[in-house]
């Protein structure tokens, strides 16, 4: 494995390595599926209510997930929408399939 890919994977692991941030990620995955089926977006707002941490913390954690390339966000008016990055998932999948 290339050094660059290893570094990228480590960043993803670090992003998933905290209970609250992992739960946040799981919620986004779940909510994304539901949102897709129902034809709307996944709003950060809806997820924030489910976790027991303040808004600044959520904002901070979201930034780390984005920074690790696990998700991407887009501002829609007053709200923030989230999408899981399929490419990242694919790379993680490959890594653990070959290990």
Partner DNA sequence: TCGATAGTTTGACGAATGTCGAATTGATAA
Partner DNA sequence: TTATCAATTCGACATTCGTCAAACTATCGA
| Interface residue list for a copy of itself (CB under 8 A) | 1, 6-7, 9-10, 13-14, 16-19, 22-23, 26, 29, 84, 89, 92-93, 96-97, 99
Q: Which is nearer to DNA, 12 or 61 (CB)?
A: 61
Site for DNA, residues 8 to 47, rule: CB under 7 A: 14, 17-18, 20-21, 43-45
- Can you give the C-alpha Rg of the chain in angstroms? 14
From the list 7, 37, 39, 55, which residue makes contact with DNA (rule: CB under 7 A)? 55
Spatial neighbors of 17 by CB under 8 A, at least 6 apart, are none
Which has the closest alpha carbon to 5: 13, 55, 83? 13
Q: What is the DSSP letter of 71?
A: E
């Amino acid at each position: 494995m290339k050094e660059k890919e290893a570094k990228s994977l480590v960043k993803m692991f670090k992003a998933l390595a905290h209970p609250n941030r992992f739960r946040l990620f799981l919620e986004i995955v779940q909510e994304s599926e539901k949102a897709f089926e129902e034809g709307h977006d996944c709003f950060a707002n809806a997820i924030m209510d489910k976790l027991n941490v303040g808004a600044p913390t959520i904002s901070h954690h979201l930034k780390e997930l984005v920074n690790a390339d696990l998700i991407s966000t887009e501002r829609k008016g007053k709200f923030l929408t989230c999408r899981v990055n399929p490419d990242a998932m694919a790379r993680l999948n490959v890594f653990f399939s070959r290990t």
